[in-house]
Amino acid sequence: MTPSPPPDGAGTLPHRTHHLADGREAVFFSDRGTPPVEHVVDRRSLDARSGGGEVRFDRLTGEWVAVAAHRQARTYLPPAGRCPLCPTTGGRESEIPAADFDVVVLENRFPSLGPDLDELPDPQQVGERSLWGVPFPAVGRCEVVVFTPEHQGSFASLPPERARTVVEAWAQRTEALSALEGIRHVFPFENRGEQIGVTLHHPHGQIYAYPYSAPHAARLATRSRTHLAATGRALMGEVLADELAAGDRMVLAGEHFSVYVPYAARWPLEVHLVPHRQVPDLAALTGGERDELAVVYQDLVQRVDRLYDTPTPYIAAWHQTPITPADREAGWLHLQLTSPRRAEDRLKFLAGSEAAMGAFINDVTAEQTAARLREAAR
């Protein structure tokens, strides 16, 4: 199956790009029926943009590793009155120089990658040994997606129209970042909860635009290409069909998307959200698909929050295909939501088998997790 090209007219929500005092971009997205934010002036006196990290090539694994020592000074769990993602009001200046907004995507002030853009050398073409001992600038782009002006809450508690705006922001930024020089893979994600390592409580996510295919994405892409060449079928499409047929791991299904706990789940809570149509990334979704995605994804995270009396920490990772024609032909967009929470008061930590060998041992069956999520429907 050949994925469809990005649909015409899918993006229906207004947005405007403004610039912060140090030159970083801030893209303001407005809810449907709300006019765009036209005038933004950042009056802060900021130091020069942070950056200057590097990437090093690991010859043993064939992977790039980013080194971002400058991030040690980044903001860490500030009190609500000093939150950098709240609106600028009164005497409090923040990263968002507006008294109100719907959704804002801004370049990270402390980026792991960027702000410069360039091509990294191809290890297969230049020879891996030639890369040893030669660090390269950590080119790329890191962005922060601010879901709401409200300091409290989560994606699960957003009004439905705001959840739809976030989906639009993910799609628009995926398309824009994919077109930048040297970008090979765009990864939107959300870390929720201190147990995951969150450093800001304000509801937000992030987007990394890598100058290489991230290791997990590269492995998925290789298997997807191999499967397509051998069978003529997309691997994720086959998995989705098998999960729908089995049924006992299904959580919910809509017209355009299905949610299930994967058969070989690694984490005590792991869920996949998959479109029924093969698309390489969020930008390729139609307007109708984006409408349903906002509803289905919010339904999923609300169920996750109903599992326990306290909010469940999670990582919500959008697996988009690397930006090569072969990968986009074989790959299939999907969300993987995982949580280390294995009981009300217990977390799963990566032990030797998982951390050193990547060989996971799960404490909960996929069927048990799926049943709990089905029961958590409102």
Q: What is the pLDDT of residue 7?
A: 58
- Give residue limits of the domains in the chain: 15-213, 217-375
Phi (first) and psi of residue 173, to 5 degrees: -70, -35
pTM for this entry: 0.95
pLDDT tens digits, one per residue of 121-155: 999 999 999 999 999 999 999 999 999 999 999 99
Q: Which tokens sit at 132?
A: 């040893």
Q: Which tokens sit at 175?
A: 């398309």
What is the percent of the chain with per-residue pLDDT over 90, rounded to a whole number?
Answer: 85
Where does the pLDDT of residue 3 fall: very low under 50, low under 70, confident under 90, or very high at 90 and above? very low
pLDDT tens digits, one per residue of 189-204: 999 998 888 889 999 9
| Those residues with Cβ within 8 angstroms of residue 182's Cβ, 6 or more apart along the chain or in another chain | 117, 118, 119, 120, 139, 140, 211
Residues identified as active-site: 204
Q: Which residue has the higher pLDDT, 318 or 39?
A: 318
Contact (CB, 8 A) for 13 and 24: no
Q: What is the pLDDT of residue 5?
A: 47
Q: Which residue has the tokens 């230049």?
A: 126
Where does the pLDDT of residue 6 fall: very low under 50, low under 70, confident under 90, or very high at 90 and above? very low
pLDDT over threshold 70, residue 8: no
pLDDT tens digits, one per residue of 12-22: 688 999 999 99
Within this chain, domains 15-213 and 217-375 share the same CATH topology: yes
Separation between Cα atoms, residue 288 and residue 285, nearest integer Å: 8
CATH of the domain spanning 15-213: 3.30.428.10
Axis-axis angle for helices 287-306, 366-375 (nearest 10): 100
Where does the pLDDT of residue 1 fall: very low under 50, low under 70, confident under 90, or very high at 90 and above? very low
pLDDT over threshold 80, residue 322: yes
pLDDT tens digits, one per residue of 214-254: 999 999 999 999 999 999 999 999 999 999 999 999 999 99
What is the percent of the chain with per-residue pLDDT over 70, rounded to a whole number?
Answer: 97
Axis-axis angle for helices 287-306, 160-178 (nearest 10): 120
Q: What is the pLDDT of residue 12?
A: 64
Separation between Cα atoms, residue 373 and residue 304, nearest integer Å: 7
pLDDT over threshold 70, residue 300: yes
pLDDT tens digits, one per residue of 66-100: 999 888 777 777 888 899 999 998 888 999 999 99
CATH of the domain spanning 217-375: 3.30.428.10
Q: What is the pLDDT of residue 164?
A: 98
